[in-house]
Structure 1
Amino acid sequence: MSVIVAGGGTAGHIEPALAVADALHRLDPSIRVTALGTSRGLETTLVPERGYPLELIPPVPLPRKPTPDLAKLPARVRASVKATREIIDRLDADVIVGFGGYVALPAYLAAGKGVGRRRRAVPIVVHEANAKAGIANKIGARRAARVLAAVPDSGIHARGRSEAELVGIPVRSSITGLDREAFRAGARAHFGLPAEGPVLLVFGGSQGARSLNEGVSGAAKALVAAGVSVLHAHGPKNTIELPEPDPNSGSDALYIAVPYLTRMDLAYAAADAAICRSGAMTVAEVSAVGLPAVYVPLPHGNGEQELNAKPVVAQGGGRIVADADFDPDYVVNQVIPMLRDRERLLQMGRAAADAGHRDAAIEVARIVLEEARR
């Protein structure tokens, strides 16, 4: 069986695609899974690292506003669809599963009935991870065999049905299978964190987030004095200023700042709570491991980041604070008391885990196989 996963550009599109690819191989190791991408996206690094073949097509960025580039869009779409159709034919694809973005749109359009030796249409499964569906997935849903969504009311609809099937976001097994308690001691040793005391994990995506960096680093002295250690990924292009350690503080807590975290599983295991953005993939991973979180949605865009976090917060698994309200005072007055209340953290962790979808990758993989076998 030949399956194409189409989800390139950002980690939010690529990671769910690779999680489903892994799940397909767990269900049937003989399945051939090929990723579709462009030379511009993170897929050129992430896909080969996970051991999957990558086929590149011309990118088709969809302008959000009218620009002179808009006139070039039809020609770009035709070129990308043609290249994608050739890949579909060469791989003899049985099913395409798309995760949105400018890689998925050509795949959706190229999956229709072909000419020559491929006269059949290739079935499409569409997965929408965000709380507000993007243009590519809305177009793909019109011709998809199945339409799946991470949260309700995402604005994406299946043919003949009012709502998409709710499945959650596919997350890699190293995260969904993580036993934080069992790995805590080793994870803390890995980062050089104290074995005892609360640990706060801070990260703002692959590039970091200035408001998170300034808000938490500005409270560094208060955090350490309160016995709270910090593992802070500030982004490879960012730096943060930290006060000199006070040898007379009487606290064993440490503030460890790194540009980037390559082992998020260990970071989750080491932590008792997180401060982070609320992209769809971030919320999915943090809730899947049962980690309480303070979500600081990106203030730009269409407000989807806040919507991503709302289901977890409604269950009691986290909090949402506006980017403009997140500062050192918030960390001192709200985050430190939360981290020092062990029972409260345990309750929030259980609520976060209940809100997550640990089996989403396997569920999506089963749906993909059902459609391929049809």
Structure 2
Amino acid sequence: MAHKVIIAGGGTGGHIFPAIAIANALKKIEPGIEILFVGAVGKMEMEKVPQAGYKIEGLEIVGFNRSNIFKNLLLPFKLFKSLRKARSIIREFKPDVAVGVGGFASFPILRAAQKMGIPTLIQEQNSYAGKSNKILAKKAVKVCVGYDGMEQFFPAAKIIQTGNPVRSNITQSDVTKEDALKYFDLVNGKKTVFSVGGSLGAKSINEALLPHLQTFVAKDVQLIWQTGKPFYQTALEAAKPFASHVKVFEFINVMDFAYKAADVVISRAGALAIAELCVAKKPVIFVPYPFAAEDHQTANAMNLVNKKAALMIKDNDVRIQLTNEVFSLLQNNALVEQLEKNITPLGNTHADMTIAKTVLEIIKK
């Protein structure tokens, strides 16, 4: 009989794409396996998971709102409702194991699974573990982590350092730089910057770039700019006079092309972005999102900065420092080479398969 796996979590591309990578790896090892995703209603996973060919159920769950305390009044009610729905999904699907990848839907499903005697695996992507995963880890069978030093959050005996899963179109990409530049209608031989603020965009990075588009043209530097939905129209209008050098996108599906085209990347410091940049071996300037839970993006970025594998600018300094730092890095060949050399060994192209094998080992025990 086919094994059954629930994969729960989402909210952003940083949770969804690793989850899909794990699902694809499970299918590769055991083609007949049944996989059900559980996400949060209204979030990105409800669109991206079916596009990847998987079924998904939605929970009415939201995270703790740090900016508006009053919005949290309904949180206990929504959590109770989600736990009840989670139990009903588990009863109906009868999974052999439940995998949590982080994000709103992860907690209710794994909590319900643990109470119903179903083994659970946590995939903790960040270098600073979130509260939910610390609670869930007590009853989880295994915790797959992307960083070293995670014994401070989880029982050492349960930890497997797998690295973070990266989409196969990035790990197995054979696109050339010439093809990548051509795809974005850019010129080969000119320095190119790729700015990516995560799947939803990054307001501070976008606002820091906006007044300096003319400088990109003046310095003959090309910019691939993924803005996210909220800033897209503003950026598109602003970039019109500089269309030869500045290419604006709401969302880029072919990330392997964008990484290959770039000489330098500007990025948030989510775990997925870091895992991808390590595989792509790119010099990067991180601008960590300061409101991430427990400020984990700063911890993620510092993990690379301390290894001299990346540069970092604080979010509140980004408007003043970003473009100067970018143009300075493009001129500094020695620093570019050092960053490339030090980020290369941190790339992990097999994390998805390692996690998938661990999931199947749990089932077979």
TM-score (norm 2): 0.88
For the Cα contact (< 8 Å) 2:114–2:120, is it kept in 1? no
Name the CA shift for 1:91/1:212 in 2 (closer, same or farther; >3 Å): same
Q: Structure 1: which 5+ runs fail to align?
A: 115-120, 247-252
For the Cα contact (< 8 Å) 2:10–2:44, is it kept in 1? yes
State the Cα deviation string for residues 316-346 of structure 1 (Å, max 9, x = none): 32101112222365423x3223223445434
Name the CA shift for 1:312/1:38 in 2 (closer, same or farther; >3 Å): same
Give RMSD over aligned pairs: 2.6
> In 1, distance between residues paired with 2:144 and 2:129?
11
> In 2, distance between residues paired with 1:276 and 1:98?
25
State the Cα deviation string for residues 285-309 of structure 1 (Å, max 9, x = none): 1222111100011233432111111
> In 1, distance between residues paired with 2:346 and 2:218?
33
Partner of 2:356: 365
> In 2, distance between residues paired with 1:223 and 1:293?
18
Partner of 2:340: 349
Name the CA shift for 1:53/1:326 in 2 (closer, same or farther; >3 Å): same
| Structure 1 residue 337 corresponds to structure 2 residue 333 | no
> In 2, distance between residues paired with 1:74 and 1:321?
37
| Structure 1 residue 149 corresponds to structure 2 residue 145 | yes
Paired-residue identity, %? 31
Point out the structure with max Rg over C-alpha: 1
Instruction: Quote the offset at 1:168 in angstroms.
Output: 1.8
Instruction: Quote the offset at 1:111 in angstroms.
Output: 1.2
For the Cα contact (< 8 Å) 1:105–1:139, is it kept in 2? no
Instruction: Quote the offset at 1:278 in angstroms.
Output: 1.1
User: How is 1:22-61 mapped onto 2 (pairs within 5 angstroms)?
Assistant: 22-59=24-61, 61=63
Partner of 2:204: 211
Number of residue equivalences: 357
> In 2, distance between residues paired with 1:13 and 1:221?
35
For the Cα contact (< 8 Å) 1:22–1:172, is it kept in 2? no
> In 2, distance between residues paired with 1:298 and 1:113?
34
Partner of 1:7: 9
Name the CA shift for 1:336/1:243 in 2 (closer, same or farther; >3 Å): farther
For the Cα contact (< 8 Å) 2:224–2:246, is it kept in 1? yes
> In 2, distance between residues paired with 1:236 and 1:38?
19
Name the CA shift for 1:350/1:26 in 2 (closer, same or farther; >3 Å): farther
State the Cα deviation string for residues 68-100 of structure 1 (Å, max 9, x = none): 676755554343223222222322211111012
1:203 maps to a residue whose letter is V
Q: Which moved more, 1:204-213 or 1:25-34?
A: 204-213
For the Cα contact (< 8 Å) 2:40–2:62, is it kept in 1? no
User: How is 1:1-374 mapped onto 2 (pairs within 5 angstroms)?
Assistant: 1-59=3-61, 61-62=63-64, 73-112=75-114, 114=116, 121-154=117-150, 155-158=152-155, 161=156, 164-179=159-174, 182-238=175-231, 239-240=234-235, 241-242=238-239, 244=241, 254-301=245-292, 302-327=294-319, 330-332=322-324, 334-342=325-333, 344-374=335-365
Partner of 1:118: none
> In 1, distance between residues paired with 2:262 and 2:287?
18
> In 2, distance between residues paired with 1:269 and 1:330?
21
> In 1, distance between residues paired with 2:7 and 2:242?
48
> In 2, distance between residues paired with 1:353 and 1:319?
15
> In 2, distance between residues paired with 1:163 and 1:157?
7
2:160 maps to a residue whose letter is E
For the Cα contact (< 8 Å) 1:268–1:291, is it kept in 2? yes
Name the CA shift for 1:70/1:296 in 2 (closer, same or farther; >3 Å): closer
> In 2, distance between residues paired with 1:263 and 1:31?
28
Instruction: Quote the offset at 1:174 in angstroms.
Output: 0.9
For the Cα contact (< 8 Å) 1:125–1:146, is it kept in 2? yes
State the Cα deviation string for residues 123-166 of structure 1 (Å, max 9, x = none): 100111122222221221111000122223455313xx377332
> In 2, distance between residues paired with 1:245 and 1:126?
46
Q: Which moved more, 1:358-367 or 1:228-237?
A: 228-237
Name the CA shift for 1:296/1:27 in 2 (closer, same or farther; >3 Å): same
Instruction: Quote the offset at 1:52 in angstroms.
Output: 0.5
For the Cα contact (< 8 Å) 1:156–1:163, is it kept in 2? no
Q: Helix, strand or coil: the match of 1:361?
A: helix
State the Cα deviation string for residues 175-224 of structure 1 (Å, max 9, x = none): 12234xx4211111111010112210012123322332232333333333
> In 1, distance between residues paired with 2:106 and 2:91?
17
Q: Which moved more, 1:129-138 or 1:39-48?
A: 129-138
Q: Helix, strand or coil: the match of 1:102?
A: coil
Q: Structure 2: which 5+ runs fail to align?
A: none
TM-score (norm 1): 0.86
Q: Helix, strand or coil: the match of 1:326?
A: helix
Name the CA shift for 1:58/1:218 in 2 (closer, same or farther; >3 Å): closer
Q: Helix, strand or coil: the match of 1:89?
A: helix
For the Cα contact (< 8 Å) 1:102–1:136, is it kept in 2? no
